[in-house]
Amino acid sequence: MNIAIVRKKYIFHGGSEGFSQALIGKLAQEGHEVHIFAITWDVFEPLNNIHFHKVPAITFNSFLRDLTFTISTYLILKRKYFDIIQSHDKTFFQDIYRAGDGCHIEWLRQRWKRTGFLGRLSIILNPYHWLLLTMERMIFKGHRFKKIIAISELVKRNILEHYHVDERDIEVIYNGVDLERFHPENRNRYRDEIRRRHSIGENDFVVLFVGSGFERKGVEYLLRASEDVSEPITVLVVGKGSEKKMRRYIKKQRVIFCGPQREIHKYYAASDIFVFPTMYEPFGNVHLEALASGLPVITTRLSGASEIIQEGVQGFVIDKPEDINMLAEKVTILMDRDKKIRMGFEARRLAENFSFGVHIKKTMELYQTLLSPS
């Protein structure tokens, strides 16, 4: 099969970009010709059936980058033939639109609820938001797809609520995770290495957060909740965001900002639990990485990953990220060693249902549906 994958760029700490790279590698390993259409893409599997096509774009700022990338991909892809064109970005010419970033309108809605006058003013006056909303509306209302992949039921509900797309046009396919890279056995391999690197004691209780974009993903709520935990804990924050803004919430607990990390599997291995109190997350591969690593997960109802987590089995789901007391209570529960071990075991069992093999199988079934004569 000749398959085109569209995504603006690859950044190693980007969840959607990392997923796109993994998908490309798996499709190529199965013998398909995979063509990447991007502005930049630095990482390739050592296979000769992966082809990179540079998309011209003005990268001076986000507004011009996204606008020119969308126009360029439209003009390029209309002139070429592929069995399947799958876009992971807001573009106007594709067979499958993978809504991996969810609905921008829903993110703004959740942010609007949780910000003050100046925050709301910045939403209204920022032309980038208006561009994304216009492009999103053109895709869904203009039916610029044959099928939509929603990466969770949450995303499907958002699309139906805001854009009234025909439900039959949406296929929910959850993400996959590398079950070998992310594994409980990593504790024996990497736990001590990472703890020594950051001067963390062998018996210290470590809460891990992984994600870039600290506001949307709830680092503030995590840090505030940590201060309500009576016992000493260490919070590892891995990812890119405004560290300066977050430091105001730190009082008694130890918080280590690690920045983005290429060897992120080692940080899961060094931690005891994973906490992700997001305002809005379409799914979040970090949840699957944590589960596969054997970590209990605490997240919010506003994450698509909450759909797969059973309360008190693999972790906990809180209704609102700003419920600091509830978040602190769930962290405290997991400080009990027996509960943490039991839920960590169940976490790994759950993750094994979300292998990349399962994801590729469902994706290929969708491709075949589109290619079959109606």
Quick: pLDDT tens for 231-245: 999 999 999 988 889
pLDDT exceeds cutoff 70 at 44: no
Report residue 42: phi and psi, to 5°: -85, -20
Do 91 and 40 reside in the same domain of the chain? yes
- Same domain for 310 and 194: yes
Kindly state the average pLDDT of the residues 315-322. Answer: 96
In a domain, 322, yes or no: yes
Residues 359 and 347 grouped into a single domain: no
Mean of the pLDDT values across residues 27-36?
89
In angstroms, the CA 258 to CA 144 distance is 40
Reported as a pLDDT band with limits 50, 70 and 90, residue 348 is: very high
pLDDT in the model for residue 24: 85
Q: Is residue 73 included in any domain, yes or no?
A: yes
Question: With bands split at pLDDT 50, 70 and 90, how would you rate the model's confidence at 255?
Answer: very high
Same domain? For 238 and 171 the reply is: no
Domain identity same for 295 and 170: no
- DSSP assignment of 166-206, as one string? -GGGEEE----B-TTTS-TTHHHHHHHHHHHHTT--TT--E
Check pLDDT > 80 for residue 42: no
pLDDT band at 11 (very low <50, low <70, confident <90, very high): low
pLDDT score for 268: 98
The token pair at 77 is 């892809």
User: Does residue 43 carry a pLDDT above 70?
Assistant: no
Whether 338 has a pLDDT exceeding 90, the answer reads yes
pLDDT tens string 154-167: 999 999 999 999 99
Whole domain around residue 306: which residue ranges?
Answer: 186-351
270: domain CATH number?
3.40.50.2000
Closest CA to 206 of 270, 292, 278, 276: 270
Q: Report yes or no on whether pTM surpasses 0.95.
A: no
Domain count of the fold of the chain: 2
User: Which residue type does 22 have?
Assistant: A
pLDDT value for 356: 87
Which range has the worst mean pLDDT, 4-18, 254-268, 321-335?
Answer: 4-18
Q: Both 130 and 196 in a single domain?
A: no
pLDDT in tens, 120-140: 999 999 999 999 999 999 999
Q: Do 76 and 213 have their domain in common?
A: no
Domain membership flag for residue 199: yes
pLDDT at position 13 over 60: no
Residue 306: is its pLDDT beyond 70?
Answer: yes
Q: Is residue 181 one of the residues assigned to a domain?
A: no
Same domain, 166 and 282: no
Whether residues 231 and 243 fall in one domain: yes
* CB-based burial label for 187 (10 Å; 0-12, 13-18, 19+): middle
What's the mean pLDDT when you consider all of the chain?
Answer: 93
Mean pLDDT of 290-307: 97
Q: Is residue 100 assigned to a domain?
A: yes
Nearest to 229 by CA among 266, 196, 254: 254
Segment 51-56 shows an average pLDDT of 93
